[in-house]
């Protein structure tokens, strides 16, 4: 039995705004049922990539496939299969919350009213309030409701929690886990782009780090946490000159040494142990530390 | 029961959950027949992917630690004495190893270390007995 | 409600308030002045503002309606939301365009109906206007998508529509053969269809390269000034005043660009030689549609953009006085409007005339100053709207209702005054109050000439407009510092005092007119009675001529015919000299409102004469009488 089509398959995507290249030769694959993270600094090209999925931008080179379909050719089918929460949520200011959701529901063949009501109660939103007077967090919540209720196969979130207070941020993630992931596991795929990695750490199965439009690292989360290690050593005298080129990052402070390694942790531990350190310890990195270490190396 | 996730441990998340449940079962924090939190609230609470929690629970079920009753949830299975003992020993070994490493760092020699252990066990024994006496009064 | 009807309703909702405002401007023409016909042409009242406003509504309002549907998506940045829904782009297009067509056609029909009387007067202008509306509606989506904003779309649309119109609409084509006419129509429809098709193509391929600051083509588009000049426009670390000026220049850049683009059209206008006696349609169209657009944009653009991007609030936190900021903004707006809407076109037309040696003459010269004042007032009104509303587009849309509201308030004042002063009735209120007992006073008042003429209206224009203007200036400087809530009620509350002032001003202006005309009427009553006395005397002018006038005294007159008590008092001990000379219509005793008609009985003879009355107080009155078969015309004036 052949494996099902990947939810998202991007191959050698390139896009340039004028002369500045936003995305260069980007490739990534998201399998259905997974939660995929796209990490990058501000201006790394995450939003551009997501816009290409929605046919808001046309790839200049390379190809994009969503559930096997090309967004430029099968625009409506692709959009029917996914829902999108943009990074800057804007609604028509004269509409009330209720009206906005009704308006967005008119585009969709199905809309789960039960989940909508549940989320309304959970967020404590007033359906009659005009969207112009909503706070940023509330606008994001409305956008999230509008994205979850159609029960689509793919949820695309573009920097959803930036600028929100910690409580709203937690609730957002809890809502995605609780309300969106409720359906059949293979039919709920998430693509999240963010630079607030700590919060999404538990959610993300697999991630790609983008820097200046290029892919720097693609890895499974568990593997990444396992293979990235921070090794600390303290020596009796100043540490000898060691061949530490296999480390991602090296820091020396007096008699102490701190290394960050990706996959080469054991070898480096052996190397250090052979020089009899006073103290040698190791710990794994969180995704955010992995992000920082990868981009700063 | 309350479960936690440590992203710095290097262990896959689902394995951490499995280990925690096993440890809880072994130490008596979770009693046989007691319900585990359902997948959805646990995932929301820990802010962890639901599939991960589901994977942990299915792993526990395949190990025979828990059983799923449809419509009612997941419960800890009965009679695990052998496994429990094994898990208990493993946990203790971890703690003992840590203490040994510390002793080495603090340059406490082996015999002194073992003597210290005996002393501490006696002290705790005395305390426990006096606590029981107080309760009887 | 079905999905499609929800969406159509949303599209209609976007257009609703602007559509209403345009309909209001159209219906405005139906408001008729209760001023009697005789006075209507001679006096300057609020009613004179109604036609220009209606024009404004037509030429700016309808193209604005065409651009609003797509422009609102850009304004509220909801285009990403709309385009990421599972709906074909062409379906979005058709929904938006159908609602736009309905709005534009209904508004155009309203204007057709209210203006139908003047169709016959100037048919060519209306044909040109219809062509303009068709072209603008068809190209609106295209230009809005290119400019990525409502106002940018409107501006580019205007330029785009005028250039072909200037070249195609010629007065001599229209009444001529069917062939040229149908060719012109065909060319027009082709052009409209092409623009529509281009618009569809752009929509299908549209890419949302939006950034945070928006990507409005006109405000944040590429800089194409030569670097030397651009250097002058860059801010410096010192010199606050100049920096503020430079910033204003940059903010108003779209207006400069727009007027530069319009220069091309202005330049071409004299190229199409029209016969001297007809004013050229393209010129008229440009004046009525393009110039007000520039004037309004000059007023709303800088403050509107600053308010919506948040830099205005930021400025208010800096150590610079808000009054200074306000003054700089206002003066730059007025200066830009004057320069772009008036000076540049005038220079371009003159240059074009010189180069093409066109015989075209402008009827603008005599009403030039009035035109300047109108444009500057329009700019100030837009500035006031920008002070009281957040955002450029909202402010521009606000200008119509504000002006319409003020004009209606003034019209109401007119009506109340006319009704209360019995304007036009034989017995005005003032004379009943016995104000005109004294001859000198009555004479002085009646010699004021409020009728329209080359110098006539200015003082009255000032009386009508100045108080409201001063109050509005004061209001705008207060509103400048305020943080505004988005509320229609807020603007209404600010408008109320202005409306009241407009009401009072119109009222007092009409009262003033009534006062003057009452005096004139009193004087004329005296002349009428004198005339009747003279007629009753039935002088035989047989042996009289210019050198031997008939000399009468007051007592002679009093004997022959009944004179009112006041006339008796005034004419006591006066000398009357009657000369049987033919009065000339262009003399001062017939001019303006110094004369009036009345019916005469055809059986009696009505000889013509000019009579001079020497009053004992030293004043000199001239009375003259002419008769047509049915009317007698009696005129008189005193010094």
pLDDT one-digit tens code per residue, C35-63: 666 666 666 667 777 877 887 788 888 88
Residue C178 pLDDT greater than 80, yes or no: no
Residue B115 neighbours by CB under 8 Å, 6+ apart: none
Residue C364 neighbours by CB under 8 Å, 6+ apart: C287, C371
Q: How far apart are CA C68 and CA A178, in angstroms?
A: 41
Residue contact A92–C89, C-beta within 8 A: no
Are the CB atoms for C58 and C26 separated by under 8 Å?
yes
Residue C423 neighbours by CB under 8 Å, 6+ apart: C34, C35, C36, C39, C417, C510, C513, C514, C517
Percentage above 90 pLDDT, chain C: 14
Q: What is the pLDDT of residue C200?
A: 92
Q: Does A104 touch chain C (CB under 8 A)?
A: yes
Q: Give burial (CB, 10 Å; 0-12/13-18/19+) of C383.
A: buried
Q: Which residue in the set A76, A88, A102 is minimally distant from C77, CB to CB?
A: A88
Chain A residue with the nearest C-alpha to that of B46: A202
Q: Which residue in the set A33, A284, A285 is minimally distant from B51, CB to CB?
A: A33
**pLDDT (mean) for C331-353:** 85
**Phi first, then psi: what are they for A44, rounded to 5°?**
-80, -20
Q: What is the pLDDT of residue C40?
A: 65
Chain A residue with the nearest C-alpha to that of C213: A88
Residue contact C86–A107, C-beta within 8 A: yes
Closest residue by Cα to residue C611 from C624, C620, C598, C601 = C624
Q: Does B40 touch chain A (CB under 8 A)?
A: yes
| N residues, chain B | 137
DSSP structure string for C558-586: HHHS---HHHHHHHTT-EEEEE--PPPTT
Beta strand pairing call for C575-579 and C609-614: antiparallel
Q: How far apart are CA C16 and CA C62, in angstroms?
A: 13
C209 to chain A, closest Cα gap in Å:
7
Percentage above 90 pLDDT, chain A: 43
- A interface test, pick of C12, C68, C81 with most A CB neighbours within 10 Å: C81
Residue A42 pLDDT greater than 50, yes or no: yes
Q: What is the pLDDT of residue C269?
A: 67
Answer whether C touches B (≥3 Cβ pairs < 8 Å): no
Residue A206 pLDDT greater than 90, yes or no: yes
Q: Does C478 touch chain A (CB under 8 A)?
A: no
Q: How far apart are CA A290 and CA C542, in angstroms?
A: 124
| Beta bridge pairs of residue A21 | A16
Q: How far apart are CA C237 and CA C435, in angstroms?
A: 67
Q: What is the pLDDT of residues A219-276, one digit of tens each?
A: 999 999 988 989 888 888 877 777 778 888 888 888 888 889 888 888 888 888 888 8
Query: Mean pLDDT, chain A, as a whole number?
Result: 89
Q: How far apart are CA C362 and CA C371, in angstroms?
A: 13
Q: Which residue in the set C2, C85, C207 is minimally distant from A58, CB to CB?
A: C207
Residue contact B47–A177, C-beta within 8 A: yes
Q: What is the pLDDT of residue C538?
A: 66
Q: What is the pLDDT of residues C154-170, one digit of tens each?
A: 888 887 777 666 655 55
Q: What is the pLDDT of residue C217?
A: 65
Residue A40: pLDDT band with limits 50, 70, 90: very high
Q: What is the pLDDT of residues C269-290, one digit of tens each?
A: 666 655 444 455 556 666 667 7
Residue contact A93–C88, C-beta within 8 A: no
Q: What is the pLDDT of residues C7-33, one digit of tens each?
A: 999 999 989 988 988 888 888 878 776
B82 to chain A, closest Cα gap in Å:
30
- C interface test, pick of A52, A92, A142, A159 with most C CB neighbours within 10 Å: A92
What DSSP element (H or E) covers C415? Answer: helix C392-421
Residue contact B50–A181, C-beta within 8 A: yes
Q: How far apart are CA B20 and CA B42, in angstroms?
A: 13
The chain A residues in contact with chain B (CB within 8 A) are 33-35, 170, 173-174, 177-178, 181-182, 185, 199, 201-205, 222, 225-226, 229, 279, 283-287
Q: What is the pLDDT of residue C276?
A: 46
Overall pTM > 0.80 = no
Higher pLDDT, C159 or C451: C159
């Amino acid at each position: 039995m052949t494996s099902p089509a990947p939810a998202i398959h991007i191959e050698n995507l390139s896009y340039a705004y004028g002369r500045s290249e936003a995305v260069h030769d980007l490739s990534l694959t998201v399998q259905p049922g997974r939660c995929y993270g796209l990490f990058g600094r501000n201006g790394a090209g995450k939003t551009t990539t997501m816009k290409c999925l929605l046919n808001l931008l046309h790839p200049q080179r390379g190809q994009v496939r969503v559930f096997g379909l090309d967004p430029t050719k099968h625009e409506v089918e692709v959009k029917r299969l996914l829902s999108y929460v943009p990074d800057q949520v804007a609604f028509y200011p004269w509409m009330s919350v209720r009206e906005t959701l009704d308006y967005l529901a008119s585009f969709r063949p199905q809309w789960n009213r039960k989940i909508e009501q549940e989320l309304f109660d959970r967020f404590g939103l007033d359906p009659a309030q005009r969207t112009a007077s909503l706070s940023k967090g509330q606008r994001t919540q409305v956008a999230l409701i509008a994205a979850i209720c159609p029960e689509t196969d793919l949820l695309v979130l573009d920097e959803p929690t930036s600028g929100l207070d910690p409580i709203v941020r937690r609730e957002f993630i809890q809502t995605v886990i609780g309300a969106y992931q409720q359906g059949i596991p293979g039919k709920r795929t998430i693509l999240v782009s963010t630079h607030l990695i700590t919060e999404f750490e538990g959610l993300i199965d697999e991630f790609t780090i983008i820097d200046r439009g290029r892919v720097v690292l693609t890895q499974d989360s568990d593997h990444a946490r396992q293979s990235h290690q921070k090794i600390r050593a303290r020596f009796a005298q100043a540490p000898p000159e060691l061949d530490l080129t296999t480390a991602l990052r090296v820091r020396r402070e007096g008699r102490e040494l701190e290394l960050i390694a990706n996959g080469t942790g054991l070898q480096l531990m052996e190397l250090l142990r052979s020089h009899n350190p006073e103290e040698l310890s190791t710990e794994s990195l969180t995704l955010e530390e992995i992000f920082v270490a990868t981009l700063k190396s | 029961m309350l479960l936690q996730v440590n992203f710095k441990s290097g262990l896959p998340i689902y394995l951490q959950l499995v280990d925690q449940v096993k440890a809880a079962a072994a130490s008596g924090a979770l009693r046989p027949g007691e319900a585990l939190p359902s997948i959805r609230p646990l995932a929301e609470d820990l802010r962890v992917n639901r599939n991960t929690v589901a994977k942990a629970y299915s792993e526990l079920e395949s190990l025979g630690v828990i059983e799923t009753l449809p419509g009612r949830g997941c419960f800890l299975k009965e009679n695990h004495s052998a496994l429990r003992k094994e898990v208990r020993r493993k946990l203790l070994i971890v703690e003992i190893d840590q203490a040994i490493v510390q002793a080495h760092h603090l340059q406490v020699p082996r015999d002194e270390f073992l003597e210290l252990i005996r002393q501490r066990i006696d002290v705790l024994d005395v305390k426990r007995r006096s606590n029981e006496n107080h309760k009887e009064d | 409600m079905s999905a499609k009807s929800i969406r159509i309703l949303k599209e209609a909702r976007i257009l609703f308030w602007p559509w209403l405002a345009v309909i209001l401007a159209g219906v405005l023409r139906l408001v008729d002045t209760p001023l009697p016909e005789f006075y209507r042409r001679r006096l300057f009242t609020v009613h004179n503002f109604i036609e220009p406003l209606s024009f404004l509504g037509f030429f700016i309002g309808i193209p604005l309606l065409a651009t609003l549907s797509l422009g609102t998506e850009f304004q509220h940045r909801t285009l990403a939301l709309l385009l990421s829904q599972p709906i074909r782009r062409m379906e979005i297009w058709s929904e938006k365009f159908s609602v736009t067509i309905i709005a534009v056609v209904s508004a155009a029909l309203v204007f057709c109906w209210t203006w139908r009387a003047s169709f016959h007067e100037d048919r060519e202008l209306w044909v040109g206007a219809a062509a303009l509306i068709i072209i603008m509606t068809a190209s609106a989506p295209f230009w809005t998508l290119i400019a990525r904003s409502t106002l940018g779309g409107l501006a580019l649309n205007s330029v785009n529509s005028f250039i072909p119109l200037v070249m195609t609409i010629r007065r001599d084509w229209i009444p001529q053969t069917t062939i040229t006419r149908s060719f012109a129509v065909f060319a027009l429809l082709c052009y409209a269809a092409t623009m529509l098709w281009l618009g569809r193509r752009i929509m299908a391929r549209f890419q949302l390269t939006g950034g945070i600051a928006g990507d409005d083509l006109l405000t944040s588009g590429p800089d194409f000034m030569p670097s030397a000049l651009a250097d002058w426009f860059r801010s410096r670390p010192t010199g606050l005043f100049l920096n503020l000026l430079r910033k204003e220049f940059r903010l108003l850049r779209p207006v400069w660009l727009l007027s530069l683009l319009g220069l091309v059209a202005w330049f071409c206008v004299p190229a199409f030689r029209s016969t001297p006696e007809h004013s050229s349609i393209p010129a008229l169209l440009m004046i009525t549609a393009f110039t007000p657009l520039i004037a309004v944009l000059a007023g709303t653009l800088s403050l509107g953009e600053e308010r919506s991007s948040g830099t205005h609030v930021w400025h208010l936190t800096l150590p610079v006085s808000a009054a200074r900021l306000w003054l700089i903004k206002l003066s730059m707006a007025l200066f830009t409007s004057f320069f772009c809407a008036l000076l540049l076109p005038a220079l371009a037309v003159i240059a074009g005339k010189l180069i093409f040696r066109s015989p075209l003459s402008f009827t603008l010269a005599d009403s030039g100053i009035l035109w300047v004042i109108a444009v500057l007032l329009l700019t100030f009104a837009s500035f006031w709207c920008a002070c009281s509303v957040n955002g450029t587009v909202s402010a521009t849309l606000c200008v119509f209702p504000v002006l319409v509201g003020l004009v209606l308030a003034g019209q109401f004042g007119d009506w109340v005054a006319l009704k209360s002063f019995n304007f036009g009735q034989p017995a005005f209120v003032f004379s009943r109050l016995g104000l005109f007992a004294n001859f000198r006073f009555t004479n002085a008042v009646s010699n004021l000439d409020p009728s329209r003429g080359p110098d006539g209206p200015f003082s009255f224009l000032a009386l009508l407009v100045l108080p409201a203007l001063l109050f509005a200036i004061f209001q705008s400087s207060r509103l400048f510092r305020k943080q505004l809530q988005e509320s229609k009620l807020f603007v209404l509350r600010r408008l109320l005092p202005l409306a009241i002032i407009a009401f009072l001003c119109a009222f007092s202006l009409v009262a003033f007119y009534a006062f003057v005309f009452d005096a004139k009427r009193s004087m004329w009553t005296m002349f009428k009675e004198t005339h009747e006395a003279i007629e009753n005397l039935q002088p035989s002018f047989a042996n009289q001529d210019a050198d031997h006038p008939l000399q009468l005294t007051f007592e002679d007159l009093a004997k022959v015919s009944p004179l009112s008590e006041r006339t008796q008092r005034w004419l006591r001990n006066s000398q009357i000299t009657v000369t049987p000379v033919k009065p000339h219509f262009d003399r001062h005793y017939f001019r303006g409102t110094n004369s009036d008609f009345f019916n005469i009985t055809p059986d009696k003879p009505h000889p013509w004469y000019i009579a001079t009355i020497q009053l004992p107080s030293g004043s000199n009155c001239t009375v003259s009488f002419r008769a047509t078969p049915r009317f007698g015309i009696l005129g008189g004036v005193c010094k």
